[in-house]
Amino acid sequence: MISVLVKAIQFILIICIGYGLKTAGIFKKEDFTVISKIVLYLTLPCAIIVNFSNIEMSKRLIIIVLIGFLCSAFLACLGYIISFRRSNLEKAFHMLNIAGYNIGCFTIPFAQVFLGSLGIVVICLFDAGNSIMATGGTYAVASSLENKKDNKILFLINKLLHSPPFVCYLILVLLGLLHLELPKAVVGLAEIVGNANAFMAMFMIGIGFQLNLKREQIIQSSKIIATRYIVSLIFALLLYFLLPFELEIRKAMAMVVLSPVSAISTAYTEKVGGDVGMSSTINSLCILISLVLISLFLMLV
């Protein structure tokens, strides 16, 4: 339990450091764009490579990849539904900031402390499915809302193939199914860069974080957060009690759906021209809420 709190407090402190340095004028809010590119194009893909290098793909567990995709896709659809009467930009914002799970930067560090190797593999496989939406899919669909071209399918495919984390997951899943491995030198280099991912992702959120939200933004943020966690709690109960797997797998699945919203949702919000400040606030609050929920879950089971 102490390890959970220490890890979460460390993440929160990094967010505070980013916000503090921005407030002090050392960083500017415009620096968010540069930092988000470092996360999207370097640290996150490298962290994905390292996590996948420790996974042995199993046909029995491949269903977990599908569950990860469906959970994330369901939340994205829900984001669209609850913002149906709003502008396309607001629809895109809701989809990006209600869907996806921050697994690599948040949940995996906890899993390494409290779950066995099987539980960590399960979480990584769930993340492979989640990443289809979180690292490009939701962004591609959200971007297409503002796209005026006729062929939206090609537009979606183009957006997906220009998302480095998504392409990375796609290649690694294919290599895993073919039982092929990346050279150790490549994994070693990726480990050096990937080790910075948790820090960079949390620091990025701190740079984008703002407290001076207007009343409408507070209402909108509260609606997104409440909807996400009501659904996440339902997912956790269903997966824990109904999945036909052993306890360690069900425990890992219930834990992973309580993860906060994807850290890179803020970066994608910036790319579609959305409200970065509100997105960062949602992200930060989700980290606090997930900390409480996962801590309670670990104490109860």
- Per-residue pLDDT reduced to its tens digit, 207-245: 877 777 788 888 889 999 999 999 999 999 999 999 988
Of 63, 132, 134, nearest in space to 101 by CA: 134
Separation CA 188–CA 185 (nearest Å): 5
> What's the fold here for domain 2-300?
Na+/H+ antiporter like fold (1.20.1530)
Nearest to 139 by CA among 164, 169, 105: 164
Q: Give per-residue pLDDT as tens, 40-84.
A: 889 888 888 887 777 676 677 788 989 999 999 999 999 999 888
Give how far Cα 41 sits from Cα of 72, 140, 144, 163, 166, Å: 22, 16, 21, 8, 11
Contact 32, 276 (CB under 8 A): yes
Q: Is a pLDDT exceeding 90 seen at residue 112? A: no
Cα 291 to chain centroid distance, Å, stands at 15
Handedness of CA 133, 261, 144, 171 (dihedral sign): negative
Give the domain ranges of the chain: 2-300
SS3 257: coil
Q: Which residue has the higher pLDDT, 259 or 120?
A: 259
Q: Tokens for 146?
A: 């503002």
Q: Which amino acid is at 58?
A: S
Question: ∠ CA 58-63-66 to the nearest 5 degrees?
Answer: 125
d(CA 1, CA 143): 41
pLDDT digits (tens, 9 = 90+) for 242-284: 998 889 899 999 999 999 998 778 888 888 888 888 888 898 8
DSSP state of 83: T
Model confidence at 148, pLDDT cuts 50, 70, 90, reads: low
pTM (whole model) above 0.85: no
Cβ atoms 91, 33 nearer than 8 A:
no
Please report the pLDDT score of residue 147 as a whole number.
Answer: 59
Pairwise CA distance, residues 112 & 95, whole Å? 30
Residues contacting 183, CB < 8 A, separation 6+: none
**To the nearest whole percent, how much of the chain has pLDDT over 70?**
90
Q: Taking the CB of residue 251, how many other CB atoms lie within 10 A of it?
A: 22
CA angle 227, 229, 234 (to 5 degrees): 100
CA–CA distance, 20 with 26 (Å, rounded to integer): 9
Neighbouring residues of 48: CB distance < 8 A, sequence distance ≥ 6: 104, 131, 165, 168, 169, 172, 194
